[in-house]
Amino acid sequence: MAGSLVASGASFSAGLRSEALNSYRRQYDARQEFVGKILKEVPSDKRIEKYFFWNSAPHAVRLPRGEAYRHKAFGGIQFSVENFEFGRAIDWRRIDREDDLTSSLVERARDLGDSIGLLNERIAFQIITAGSDNDLLASIPNAPDGRAIYHANDVASGNRFGVSGGNMEGDGSTTAGAAGGTATSAAITTDYYDVRSRFTRMQDTEGQPLFNPSVTDGEALVIYPAAKIQAFQEAFIRERVVEGSSTPTNVVQEAGLAPTLWTTQRLTGNDWFVFLTGSEHRSLGVQNREGIRTVTATWENSDLSRETGQESIRFECRRGFFVFVPYTTCQVNNAPGT
């Protein structure tokens, strides 16, 4: 039984009060109502799953009198997703558990299970921020078109999804190409409308509109850094906007386009993200090969535990994470410090 042991000696002192036991108990639950809006869960029954989807079918065209039907083929894309193991174990000595006057060692160790519940959220943010974390994904998956989840061009260097800039608002530079920044609610509102316009201008692979208006004018989720909470709430929640000596109503609310807001410390800097949640399509996916399993090793069920006097609890699961065709999300790419 490998691993470091829980340091439990302090719980042996007589006369302990229990009021402080929950001081560092996990109080953050995965925002499942939000994670489900950006990440689609699918079942899996093998180590590597293969996916396939068709490009857009051709659109109808005029048939001049006397001419034969015009034919046009269309292709598809295949990609693969591998499942990986995720988990962790916690070990302690049997006599430490028995001498724990608070009777809470095992209960606290079970908090590890809450970490499995956070896995989808943590990896979703690793993907959208292109973050480096070897404890999660060793590398960030590309979309099926071979590009990162957010990119201006497709693999042929054309406009991704048929719109200049692809699914990125701004290029993140310090030039005029960057988005408007997060210093003011007005700048955020302008970029939000630019993103809405970008979604509306996206095209299928045949050059026709990609979305119905009910989607582009429908529900959206905005994920933004916690350090910018005032400016974002002023942009989307405040009913009136101060402009000089006047206080007009909030145009985003008037138009019925106010998004759901997700304030998070998982984002730093000035970039933020928009997801169209009225579409059935999700830009991120997770395949579940094996659900969460809990394994406990004690004197009663483990020869190693009886020999060493150590007990343990471990949680594990098998999942694979991937980027699907990411046309329902857009990054607002601001210059540093804006």
The predicted model scores a pTM of 0.85
pLDDT per residue over 267-301, tens digit each?
A: 999 999 999 999 999 999 999 999 988 888 988 99
234: left (phi over 0), alpha (psi -120 to 50) or beta: alpha
Look at the chain and count its residues: 338
**Residue 264: helix, strand or coil by DSSP?**
strand
| Helix 229-236 and helix 185-201, axial crossing angle in degrees, nearest 10 | 60
E strand residue ranges, the chain = 39-43, 48-54, 76-82, 84-93, 168-169, 220-225, 260-264, 272-276, 284-297, 310-323, 329-332
Give yes or no for a contact between 334 and 328, defined as CB atoms under 8 angstroms apart.
no
Q: Is residue 13 included in any domain, yes or no?
A: no
> Angle at the Cα of 151 (from 210 to 287), degrees rounded to 5?
75
pLDDT recorded at residue 54: 75
Q: What percent of the chain lies above the pLDDT cut of 70?
A: 87
Q: In what order do the strands lie in the sheet with 84-93?
A: 39-43, 284-297, 310-323, 84-93
Q: Is residue 10 included in any domain, yes or no?
A: no
Distance CA 261, CA 184 (A): 17
Residue bearing tokens 């048929």: 162
pLDDT recorded at residue 25: 55
Residues 6+ apart with CB under 8 A from 154: 145, 147, 160, 161, 166
Our count of domains for the chain comes to 1
Q: Is residue 306 included in any domain, yes or no?
A: yes
Give one DSSP letter per residue of 15-58, joined into a string.
T--STTTTTTS--PPP-HHHHHHHEEEEE--SSEEEEEEE-PPP
Q: Residue 200 corresponds to which amino acid?
A: T
Q: What percent of the chain lies above the pLDDT cut of 90?
A: 55
Q: Is residue 69 included in any domain, yes or no?
A: no
pLDDT per residue over 102-157, tens digit each?
A: 667 777 777 777 778 889 999 999 999 999 999 999 999 999 999 999 999 987 77
Helix, strand, coil tally for the chain in percent (to 5)? 25, 25, 50
Higher pLDDT, 166 or 179: 166
Q: Is residue 111 included in any domain, yes or no?
A: yes
- Domain span at 217: 26-57+80-332
Region 307-327: mean pLDDT is 92
Q: The domain that contains 51 carries what CATH number?
A: 3.90.1690
Q: Is residue 232 included in any domain, yes or no?
A: yes
Region 184-188: mean pLDDT is 93
Q: Rounded to 10 degrees, what is the CA torsion of 230, 232, 235, 240?
A: -30
Per-residue pLDDT band for 7 (boundaries 50, 70, 90) equals low
pLDDT recorded at residue 194: 96
Q: Is residue 17 included in any domain, yes or no?
A: no
Give yes or no for a contact between 91 and 312, defined as CB atoms under 8 angstroms apart.
yes
Give yes or no for a contact between 39 and 285, defined as CB atoms under 8 angstroms apart.
yes
Give one DSSP letter per residue of 173-184, joined into a string.
SSSTTS---SSS
Give yes or no for a contact between 233 and 258, defined as CB atoms under 8 angstroms apart.
no
Higher pLDDT, 60 or 290: 290
Q: Is residue 18 included in any domain, yes or no?
A: no
